[in-house]
Structure 1
């Protein structure tokens, strides 16, 4: 530290001796010596008009900080080669892969690993018939709990990129265990296999929930087209897993070989998402948007913030919840067990093509109209959600759902009506969910957008949990002698 005097006289109220004493006292009182910013400020207060100082370490850092502030107050940089958009699409793709992997492998689990015989116990039969409902419940309970925890431990402005990396590593490990189980003969341990599978589903989807929650929080601070890319990626996961399932069935009639091919493709995509995770954090547009959030002062304590944010967006959260309840109540548990009547196709392909692939294709297409219009607005959205609930809610139960067991008449049993209803279910699901994520930032202050996106995401998981619980009552509903 160099001090230069510009004049031969000091301030009249202080002598050089007194100044030296004060300086020595200040130096000895600082825990970080000359590297403390407080020291740098206090040392020059007595002679601010007469003394100039050379920059200390913190001065240099402050200059760099001012430069970064200036860089994020101007025009946002361009997304060169659409790199950020593509990477976020991949990240979104990996978020729902575990969920889609398990539901699209319904035949592998129910008809092969959990296959029952005349010697099977009632418990084994129950686990087989209710497998999809258990998958939904075991997926959504940890998803809801960990999403809520993630909101409250997250900085009030930003989501944690490091949690995304750890979550994906956990997903990769558990998916590898699932592949290993596919090679083991578990016919003598059906109940044990079922329990182990459910444990894997719990932890895999718990990790996926943290990953998804952070990703939507990050996407919420970016321009609108990026959150749309994330949602499109989550929907494309279903298409890829459906195609992978169909191809694996076509390549090999052996259930074990098909499962290995199918599960391996999922691991491959999650690995790519893990590799690209670090890249998008360094892209100029992402850095610009995050710096713009970081430089703003906190307006309220993080602990009180989530509840205050929720009060501003509770209508969006409710619509999100009800939309997803109707979807998950019918898909995949009910829709996947609707049997064909007259369409000429092998039964082994009926559900993979006209249920899973059909739903997932229209689920992706639901993002397309968002480019031109966002309708009908946050105040009137409940009308659309209510109409959708009244029409699609009971439709699949009244279709050709479990015809061998049902007592309730199948009033709407028709193959083409079923295919059309599945298409509308997927199309409206994505379109409405896209709208909710777009409406949320318009109802919040800029600093609250990231946490707001996480809260809306929690209600999506709550809707999935509620829909999964309701789907467990569909079987006794149609088999009850009314």
Structure 2
């Protein structure tokens, strides 16, 4: 009788789960099997020296390298697209059409493939091996950076239009690969304990700090534009090679095998391949569970990209023109380094400090972040016409930036950590991918409206 009651309780727990084997035809993306995971019953191996955590951190750094590097090296691309009839030292004067269109073209070339690949990856989950998606995306990113690295040693003045076209193509390819990597990586990390999602988010933040510090070093040393770009992209290639090697190491670690299901005892139930209607049904089931976290991520990154860097980089020191600090270093330090350091600190703190009733509190605080839009607009963002400057001191934008960046990293990481806990282990990868898609939607919406806020400030 005890054995029968035990089995009845086990069957009951399965039938009550949000996405169960009983719902296999309409609720699961796995095309053949539905598995009952043994990782809840078996004590996991120890992650010695936090190796798996460090690998996820390194992979997180790699996910945003294309965006960070192409934005940080903007000066290099402006130099290569300069007016060839003028002295090279005056490459920022009387800018050409290609120079003027570069930044907007990079933004579109990054966001469009990013969004499309994030959507596509939710369909690839369970159909294409996650190993193929992660390794393939890293290989594509390495190849595109190698092409860009070679161009830093070439004189492209005679064929600037061709160089511009090749650059846009490399941005599209690297951004698509980056989107596939980040979405797959969040799906993989969702199979592990929560701190591994925090590691991915922390790695993304660390990548931003790296690019900001590199920019400051170049400003201080005064190296040539092409030499600086060479080292930017050379370091990016090294980081990506290290990332792909570390991923191969991850596949062979007992701790990782345990959570990826390679050492599991499986109960297999054959079932037909899911239909398109089944896919959509599963998405809805998961979204009904995680929507507060998904909406929080959309709101957090919408507000962040609406202001950063389009408006925040226009905020000048109120003492502009008085010293090297106010003219040369204020924006790189206040806008880029301070933001990336605060963002990284917020992502790291999510591993140690949570919030009560996270489904409600994270969404509430994400809505409150909308207040940063008028706050930054009322700082000394220049040029502007009749719009008044309410915060006429350098202290205010610095304080606002600290809270802005900390809340961006903290709230987004908490939401991404909590969401996979609401679904079954079989659906954790898809949940991670859906949360990554939410992040991309927020980034895309924020980027789309940022130009409107720039025009608003300049014309009012």
Output the TM-score relative to the length of structure 2: 0.80
* Deviation digits for residues 162-187 of structure 1 (CA, Å, limit 9, x no counterpart): 21111111101111222233334455
Residues 332-387 of structure 1 deviation map (CA, whole Å, 9 limit, x = unaligned) = 22222322233854433333222211111111100233233311411232221121
Aligned positions of 1:134-145 closer than 5 A: 134-145=105-116
Task: Name the CA shift for 1:150/1:195 in 2 (closer, same or farther; >3 Å).
Answer: same
CA pair 245-450 structure 1, distance change in 2 beyond 3 A: same
**Closer/same/farther in 2, CA of residues 183 and 308 from structure 1, 3 Å limit:** same
Alignment counterpart, residue 47 of structure 2, candidates 49, 73, 79: 79
- Equivalence for 1:102: 70
338, 346, 366: which one aligns with 2:346: 366
Matches within 5 A, 1:21-170: 73-110=41-78, 113=81, 115=91, 117-118=93-94, 120=95, 123-124=97-98, 126-127=100-101, 131=103, 133-155=104-126, 160-170=130-140
Give the paired residue count.
Answer: 406
Write the mapping of 1:78-477 to structure 2, written as runs, cut at 5 A. 78-110=46-78, 113=81, 115=91, 117-118=93-94, 120=95, 123-124=97-98, 126-127=100-101, 131=103, 133-155=104-126, 160-186=130-156, 193-291=163-261, 295=266, 297=268, 301=274, 303=279, 304-342=281-319, 344-346=323-325, 347-376=327-356, 377-390=358-371, 392-403=372-383, 406-477=385-456
Change (3 A) 1:406 1:179: farther
Tell me by how many angstroms 1:297 deviates: 4.8
Describe the superposition over 1:404-425 as per-residue Cα deviations: whole angstroms up to 9, x where unpaired: x655333334322222222222
SS, match of residue 223 in structure 1:
coil
Q: Distance in 2 between matches of 1:244 and 1:314?
A: 38
Segment drifting more, 93-102 vs 291-300: 291-300
Distance 1:369 1:126, change over 3 A: same
1:168–1:244 Cα change, 3 Å: same
Q: Which moved more, 1:106-115 or 1:284-293?
A: 106-115
Q: What is the aligned-residue RMSD (CA, Å)?
A: 2.8
SS in structure 1 opposite 2:256? helix
Cα gap change, 1:180 to 1:407, in 2 (>3 Å): farther
Instruction: State the structure with more CA Rg.
Output: 1
The 3-state SS of whatever aligns with 1:396 is helix
User: How many angstroms apart in 2 are the aligned matches of 1:423 and 1:296?
Assistant: 50
SS at match of 1:379: helix
Moved over 6 A (4+): 69-72
Bigger RCO of structures 1 and 2 (CA < 8 A, at least 6 apart): 2
Q: What are structure 1's unaligned runs of at least 5 residues?
A: 1-68
Measure, in 1, the Cα distance between the counterparts of 2:75 and 2:380: 18
Give distance in 2, aligned partners of 1:229 and 1:71.
21
Determine if contact 1:139/1:202 at 8 Å carries over to the other structure.
Answer: yes
Offset at 1:134?
3.9
User: Unpaired runs of 5+ in structure 2?
Assistant: 1-36, 83-90
Verify the 8 A CA contact 2:195 2:417 in the aligned structure 1: no
SS of alignment partner, residue 350 of structure 2 = helix
Structure 1 range deviating more: 147-156 or 450-459: 147-156
Distance 1:385 1:204 in 2: 30
Task: Classify 1:70/1:134 alpha carbon distance in 2 versus 1 (closer, same or farther; 3 Å).
Answer: closer
CA contact (8 A) 2:80 2:156 kept: no
